[in-house]
Structure 1
Amino acid sequence: MHLTPHLARTGRRLAAALCSFVAVVAPVTVHNLASADIAHAQEKRLKSWGNNRSGQLGDGTWTDFRTTATTVLGLTSAEVVKIEAGGASASSGHGLALLTDRTVQSWGANGSGQLGDGSVFSHNAPGQVVNLANATDIAAGGSHSLALLADGTVVAWGRNNYGQLGNGSHSDSSVPVRVEGLNKVTAIAGGLNHSIALREDGTGWAWGYNINGQLGDGTSASRNVPAPVAGLTGVSHIAAGCNHNLALVGRPASANAVKAWGYNATGQLGDNSTINRYTPVDTQGVWPGGVSQIAAGCNHSLAVTGSDNRLKSWGQNTSGQLGDSTTDYRITPVPVPGLKGVQLVAGGREHSMALLGDSTVRSWGANGSGQLGNGTTTDSATPVTTLTALTGVDKIAAPVGGDFSLAN
């Protein structure tokens, strides 16, 4: 292109001015961006992996699945007190995070209002549960959620077709509602379509779906308000599977440390039978030093022995979720070989997780959606190392009826 002398002089002046501007401003801008990037990289973040078709990984995408950890948006590990995962099917799920300010964030599937944001629209990044403050604990079921408040009462939201919200109705709620008749509660857990609570006097209470005896009241009648679990006292921990429950009771070294009730077609109660139980029965087994932790997957159960922090499992084993190198169902507890120093356990639909003393995570069982987090979609009947992209993990979660995982 040909330029006139006037335009050429004008162009040279503009070029000089731009060079001067860049020379002064550019170093400051680059420096500030670099500092921000370094600070962001140093912040520890909540991680997720596995199925994401409902946005349950919370990473801002609807990507089908992730075989290694992705980052849940907007939440630093420092502000997260507890994590919970819910889910009603392989492709459906939601996540909960209790924060240091005692509010709760949620993400994922929301067709029944289980995110508690006043809507029934799913979202793939965390948002705040409305009308909820002073929460001290959280739990996630199939398509419902629960929170324990500082005053010892419980609220719930989401699906309520079987009364699992415990508010005396069968109407879903997209905002938290008060569970009727419960106070002095110390722990909560959510099953597929039922809920349980532990009171400070060591008694268990349950409500919701009950066709298989999962409420433990001696009947198969569902309830939309809490009722006591028959004969259950001295409880220190509770766990809920899809349609069965576990309770840790008695002295730490008690031979009958674990009680179980509800659905038992695959041996998940561990009482050497496959008979449903409508009131609690003893899970059989030898527990060196008692039991320190319990967890329930959909149709399998897990317990950590107290003296050596080793793991035992029982129940359904279709995908190797018992971790004993077989796919044989077990109607009494069997050891999970090769794991020691287990600090926490979690059970998903057909996979299991363990947090070890070195703050690393092991997973096993179904892996079609990458829920084991080892970079593959191959099932494993023995524990594999989960690639969490984290150091110092101290929290894990898996959904009772879903195929994803969380770590913080």
Structure 2
Amino acid sequence: MLSAVDHALRVIICACRGGRGFACRGRRPVRERRVWSWGNNRAGQLGDGTWADVCTAPTAVVGLRSTEVVGIAAGGFGTAFGHGLALLTDGTVRSWGANGAGQLGDSTVLSHNDPGPVVHLAGVVSIAAGGAHSLALLTDHSVVAWGRNDCGQLGNGANADSSVPVGVEGLDSVVAIAAGLHHSLALREDGTVWAWGHNHNGQLGDGTCAARNVPALVKGLTGVTQITAGASHNLALVGPPGNGGVIMAWGHNASGQLGDDSTTNRSTPVKTRDSWSGGVARIAAGANHSAAITSTDNALHTWGRNTSGQLGSATTKNQATPIPVPGLTGIQLAACGREHTLALLTDNTVRSWGNNCSGQLGNRTTTGSSTPMTILSELSGVDELAAPVGGDFSLAR
């Protein structure tokens, strides 16, 4: 249920009626710092207290202000399923959206359209969301997981779903986590990467295509400082961000999302071909496309599937090597969804491009764009963006 304050804010922001079939249309920009969401909402993944099919402009997630939230994550699969996570300053996690596999971690399999607590969970420092599972990194550098586990993506040595957090086996000294559609990753303090879950496309990087329900070492990777997971592929930054370094990639590659100038799947990491001078600051991965922010000029380079213009290249041609997004500089952050991409610029504006069938670009339409022309004027003071590798909505805080 919406509080009186949240209801009033909701009326200002959107014209949603709360029932299916109504698109949300933003009205006057609201500058209060909130957690925002937009796009597909058939599973309540926008967390705004409604079940509206789509919301084409940013709407506030119920009861969450950005001052109390230190991290967000977006998960989902297909066009109609998704879930959101928010990490609070007290180390607890709130979740909302689809819950058929227990991915909300509230001990039920009932979906809900506003945030509720993940049970038996505290001391969280980082979160990640996959297709229908979720991960949390704890202060003791261990990892817990919950949700779908048919491919072993929870890493607890079993294959049964769990609606409450369970420990990932055999992992310690973890400093970062990432979640793909049906697999999971962890980066340890020693610079090695570990993976578990679905492996049909070699996304575990262990040289096989066999699924694993406990973590396995990704072969040939050391000195890794960042990781990110796509639907069935992964990227790792080797070397310190901003000071050279290379991007290594592995897994599914039918659209060129590994960036090695091929469309061959790789079950062990290969080097992404550089198309920039200087170093890489950040990496991001969507369902079948990838992105890197360069440190010298804060430009964005993209590669992989481009059927909806998600590479921002003004075309719909796939790219098997990285290319710069034309006319876009001053990039701070990027997030990649199923077929759309978001970028936060140094002027604090947010741009979006790609598929927009559910309003995931946030420009009050459902018309897609192959160039980053959208400015989400409602957003102010954004620190983080998130999009699901298998879904069609967006989050910002």
Same fold (TM over 0.5): yes
The residue identity in structure 1 corresponding to 2:291 is L
Partner of 2:146: 157
SS class of match (1:383): coil
Distance 1:310 1:333 in 2: 12
For 1:117-136, list aligned pairs within 5 A: 117-136=106-125
Distance 2:132 2:123 in 1: 23
Partner of 1:218: 207
Q: Is 1:326 aligned with 2:304? A: no
Distance 2:275 2:81 in 1: 37
SS class of match (2:62): strand
Partner of 2:274: 285
Structure 1 residue 253 displacement after superposition = 6.5
2:330 to 341, 351, 367: 341
Q: How many equivalent pairs are there? A: 374
| Preserved contact between residue 252 and residue 289 of structure 1 (Cα < 8 Å) | no
| Preserved contact between residue 77 and residue 131 of structure 2 (Cα < 8 Å) | yes
Structure 1 residue 323 displacement after superposition = 0.3
Q: Is 1:172 aligned with 2:172? A: no
Compute the RMSD of aligned alpha carbons.
1.8
1:47-68 per-position Cα deviation (integer Å, ceiling 9, x unaligned) = 1000000000000000000110
Higher mean alpha-carbon deviation, 182-191 vs 390-399, is at 390-399
Structure 1 residue 388 displacement after superposition = 5.2
Partner of 1:113: 102
Q: Highest CA radius of gyration, 1 or 2? A: 1
Distance 2:31 2:363 in 1: 23
* Matched-pair identity in %: 66
Structure 1 residue 43 displacement after superposition = 4.5
SS class of match (2:63): strand
Structure 1 residue 42 displacement after superposition = 7.3
| Preserved contact between residue 253 and residue 287 of structure 1 (Cα < 8 Å) | no
For 1:301-320, list aligned pairs within 5 A: 301-320=290-309
| Preserved contact between residue 68 and residue 388 of structure 1 (Cα < 8 Å) | no
Distance 1:67 1:193 in 2: 28
Distance 1:97 1:255 in 2: 32
Structure 2 unaligned residues grouped into runs of 5+: 13-29
1:206 to 169, 191, 195: 195
Task: Report the TM-score when normalising by structure 2.
Answer: 0.91
| Preserved contact between residue 255 and residue 285 of structure 1 (Cα < 8 Å) | no
Q: Is 1:275 aligned with 2:264? A: yes
Partner of 1:246: 235
Task: Report the TM-score when normalising by structure 1.
Answer: 0.89
Distance 1:329 1:275 in 2: 14
Structure 1 unaligned residues grouped into runs of 5+: 1-32
Distance 2:55 2:281 in 1: 32
The residue identity in structure 2 corresponding to 1:229 is V
| Preserved contact between residue 288 and residue 306 of structure 1 (Cα < 8 Å) | no
Partner of 1:354: 343
Distance 2:136 2:375 in 1: 29
| Preserved contact between residue 287 and residue 306 of structure 1 (Cα < 8 Å) | no
1:258 to 223, 247, 267: 247
SS class of match (1:63): coil
Q: Is 1:394 aligned with 2:383? A: yes
Partner of 2:37: 48
Q: Quick one: structure 1 residues 105 and 386, their matched pair in 2 at CA, closer, same or farther if it must change by over 3 Å?
A: farther
Structure 1 residue 251 displacement after superposition = 4.9
For 1:25-36, list aligned pairs within 5 A: none
The residue identity in structure 1 corresponding to 2:82 is G
Structure 1 residue 256 displacement after superposition = 5.9
| Preserved contact between residue 267 and residue 316 of structure 1 (Cα < 8 Å) | yes
1:161-198 per-position Cα deviation (integer Å, ceiling 9, x unaligned) = 00000000000000000000000000000000000000
| Preserved contact between residue 73 and residue 386 of structure 2 (Cα < 8 Å) | yes
| Preserved contact between residue 385 and residue 394 of structure 2 (Cα < 8 Å) | yes
Q: Which runs of 4+ in 1 moved over 4 A?
A: 40-43, 251-256
The residue identity in structure 2 corresponding to 1:176 is P
The residue identity in structure 1 corresponding to 2:250 is W
1:291-343 per-position Cα deviation (integer Å, ceiling 9, x unaligned) = 00000000000000111100000000010000000000000001101111101
Distance 2:377 2:92 in 1: 25
Distance 1:388 1:346 in 2: 18
Higher mean alpha-carbon deviation, 217-226 vs 253-262, is at 253-262
Distance 1:260 1:89 in 2: 24
| Preserved contact between residue 253 and residue 288 of structure 1 (Cα < 8 Å) | no
Higher mean alpha-carbon deviation, 387-396 vs 330-339, is at 387-396
1:99 to 77, 82, 88: 88
Partner of 1:5: none
